[in-house]
């Protein structure tokens, strides 16, 4: 059974920092592209940042220079370091794992249950 479990969310003042973790089980973690998405009340879920199985990263413009994604394949864990947080970063943050095996038309995708991040002004 595949599980992605986020932790590290909470309430922080604007300008503060949080570090989210996503612990994975039931998958060959190192083979998966990973990402963090977020959904604010009344808004669509949006991509925050992604990291490929080879370590290439991509960030939404809104978080560039403030957020850092990383992965530890030995611990089957992905991280999101969030600095200089703003009230508009308030959302439920979800971790995501995806893999399309070479030569396959099937994509394996998994989501975590989400962790709340609230940034007060």
Using CA atoms, how far apart are residues 97 and 108, in angstroms rounded to an integer?
A: 8
Using CA atoms, how far apart are residues 74 and 60, in angstroms rounded to an integer?
A: 27
* pLDDT tens, position by position, 2-44: 999 999 999 999 999 999 999 999 999 999 999 999 999 999 9
pLDDT at 102: 85
Residue 97 in tokens: 């794992």
Positive/negative CA dihedral, 28, 30, 33, 34 = positive
Residue 115 in tokens: 């962790």
* pLDDT tens, position by position, 45-99: 999 999 999 999 999 999 999 999 999 999 999 999 999 999 999 999 999 999 9
């Amino acid at each position: 059974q595949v599980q992605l479990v986020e932790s590290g969310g909470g309430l922080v003042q604007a300008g503060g920092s949080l570090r989210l973790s996503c612990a994975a089980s039931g998958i060959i973690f190192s083979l998966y592209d990973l990402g963090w998405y977020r959904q604010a009340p009344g808004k669509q879920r949006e991509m925050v940042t992604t990291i490929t199985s080879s370590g290439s990263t991509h960030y939404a413009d809104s978080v560039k220079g403030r957020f850092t994604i990383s992965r530890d394949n030995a611990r089957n864990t992905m991280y999101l370091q969030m600095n200089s947080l703003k009230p508009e970063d308030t959302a439920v943050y979800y971790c995501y794992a995806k893999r399309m095996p070479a030569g396959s038309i099937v994509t394996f995708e998994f989501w975590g249950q989400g962790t709340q991040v609230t940034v007060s002004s």
